[in-house]
């Protein structure tokens, strides 16, 4: 519990540093766009998508931080997704303070769909929301984010999982799935409707990753040492690859975050590591971890841009006292189709 509380507090401080301190939740209005003259901007939980010749990056921040780039090197800060805190989140998530975590972005059925996390500190009092826009180009007259509210929530004492860190994967049959989770009982997966606006009925749920699991005290009201979070699924060849983050972020130079992988022929698993061990039973092959320059690296996403596969994440940069910065690395594949990522 102490480890998770440290993480959540650090996330809150990071968000304030990134976009400035604010007043009460209901009165928050977030900033306009400005240039960020840095090839490695300060980010947390980044995801990315390309529209036309422009890359758009979304990450944890008040209103959801947005940046754009033409070359993946120089980044311009755009206006946040939300100018005010979503009202539903204030009502449905007691203790939510307005900083929105760990988004995911995907283009589907002619719209850009953004999924995002709202949570209270140190609890699985959490919910995942959904917003859409027809374009990411803010100069386009049709540009407008529409919030559709909550997709699902976790409630202490009722749910063994934590409704944060969403990621969407569309399987070979065109069915969208949401995988999500942090600590508690690990990574879960649930089937969505075709338009991704709700959980599909009848409901279909899976547990796809868990490590060091022990029953949670007080009917799941506190986290345990199941230090896995931030799932992201990609397809390559004949497999689905589940990327997850092990251990702890948000401790600056003392962070030991690392990225692990398993793969499956089925989107719902089981996901096995290189040794054949299931990620649901503590497996996971580590593909990237800290070194002398980076204390830890994690909360990753992966994409194919212009014929190359990329992994993006945030890492804790030692030359700047462990500040959290954008990490962008090319993914290569070995002779057995396992991903390889190096510094």
- Active-site residue, from 78, 104, 185, 229: 229
Q: How far apart are CA 294 and CA 218, in angstroms?
A: 37
Q: What is the mean pLDDT of residues 182-191?
A: 92
Provide the percentage of residues in the chain whose pLDDT is more than 70: 85
C-alpha span between 126 and 111 (Å, rounded): 26
Does residue 147 carry a catalytic annotation? no
Q: Are strands 167-170 and 146-154 parallel, antiparallel or unpaired?
A: unpaired
Q: Nearest 5°: CA angle at 214, between 212 and 217? A: 140
Look at residue 221 in the predicted model and tell me its pLDDT: 56
Mean pLDDT for the chain?
87
The residue-averaged pLDDT of 302-316 equals: 96
Which pLDDT tens digit goes with each residue over 7-60? 444 444 444 444 333 333 332 333 344 333 345 899 999 999 999 999 999 999
Could you give the C-alpha distances from 250 to 96, 221, 290, in angstroms and in order?
19, 22, 13
**318 confidence band (pLDDT: 50, 70, 90):** very high
Q: What is the DSSP string of 34-86?
A: EEE--SS-B-SS-EEEEETTEEEEEESEET-EEEEESSSSSEEEEPPS-SS--
- pLDDT for the residue 134: 98
Q: How far apart are CA 261 and CA 143, in angstroms?
A: 36
The more confidently predicted of residues 148 and 251 is 148
Sequence-ordered list of residues with C-beta below 8 angstroms from that of 195, at least 6 positions apart, any chain? 108, 109
pLDDT beyond 60 at 4:
no
Catalytic residue among 45, 78, 185, 247: 45
* Domains of the chain, earliest start first: 2-22+36-340 (2.115.10.20)
If phi over 0 gives left and psi between -120 and 50 gives alpha, with beta otherwise, what is residue 20? left
- Note the pLDDT tens digit of each residue in 68-102: 999 999 999 999 999 998 999 999 888 888 889 99
Q: What is the pLDDT of residue 192?
A: 98
Find out whether 55 and 305 touch, Cβ atoms under 8 Å: yes
Higher pLDDT among residues 66 and 217, named by residue: 66
Q: Identify the residue whose tokens are 């990574």.
A: 187
The candidate with the shortest Cα–Cα distance to 284, out of 240, 245, 330, is 245
Paired strand residues for 116 = 129
Residue 335 annotated as catalytic: no
Condensed to tens digits (0 to 9), the pLDDT of residues 108-156 reads 999 999 999 998 867 888 999 999 999 999 999 999 999 999 999 998 8
pLDDT over 50 (residue 289): yes
Q: What is the DSSP string of 188-251?
A: EEEEB-TTSSSB-SS--EEEEE--S--PPHHHHTS--S--EEEEEEEEETTEEEEEEEES--SS
pLDDT given at position 184 = 85
What integer pLDDT is reported at residue 258 of this predicted model?
97
Average pLDDT, stretch 177-194?
94
């Amino acid at each position: 519990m102490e480890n998770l509380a440290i993480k959540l507090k650090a996330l809150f401080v990071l968000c304030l540093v990134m976009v400035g301190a604010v007043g009460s939740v209901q009165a928050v209005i977030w900033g306009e766009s400005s240039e960020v003259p840095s090839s490695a901007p300060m980010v947390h939980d980044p995801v990315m998508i390309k529209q036309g010749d422009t890359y758009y990056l979304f990450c944890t921040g008040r209103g959801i931080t947005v940046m754009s780039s033409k070359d993946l090197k120089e980044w311009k800060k755009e206006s946040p997704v939300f100018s005010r805190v979503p009202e539903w989140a204030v009502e449905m998530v007691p203790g939510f303070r307005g900083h929105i975590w760990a988004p995911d972005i995907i283009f589907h059925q002619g719209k850009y769909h953004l999924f995002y996390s709202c949570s209270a500190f140190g609890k699985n009092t959490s919910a995942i929301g959904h917003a859409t826009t027809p374009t990411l180009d803010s100069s386009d007259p049709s540009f407008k984010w529409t919030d559709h509210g909550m997709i699902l929530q976790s409630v202490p004492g009722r749910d063994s999982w934590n409704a944060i860190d969403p990621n969407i994967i569309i399987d070979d049959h065109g069915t969208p799935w949401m995988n999500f989770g942090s600590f508690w009982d690990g990574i879960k997966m649930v089937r969505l409707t075709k338009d991704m606006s709700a959980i599909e009925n009848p409901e279909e749920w899976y547990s796809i990753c868990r490590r060091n699991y022990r029953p949670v005290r007080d009917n799941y009201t506190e986290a345990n040492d199941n230090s896995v979070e931030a799932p992201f699924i990609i397809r390559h060849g004949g497999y689905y690859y589940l990327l997850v983050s092990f251990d702890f972020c948000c401790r600056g130079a003392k962070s030991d975050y690392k990225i692990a992988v398993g793969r499956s022929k089925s989107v719902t698993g089981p996901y096995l590591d290189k040794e054949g061990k299931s990620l649901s039973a503590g497996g996971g092959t580590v593909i990237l971890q800290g070194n002398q320059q980076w204390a830890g690296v994690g909360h990753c996403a992966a994409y194919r841009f212009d014929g190359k596969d990329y992994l993006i994440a945030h890492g804790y940069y030692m030359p700047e006292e462990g500040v959290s910065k954008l990490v962008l690395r090319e993914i290569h594949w070995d002779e057995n189709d396992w991903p390889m990522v190096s510094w």
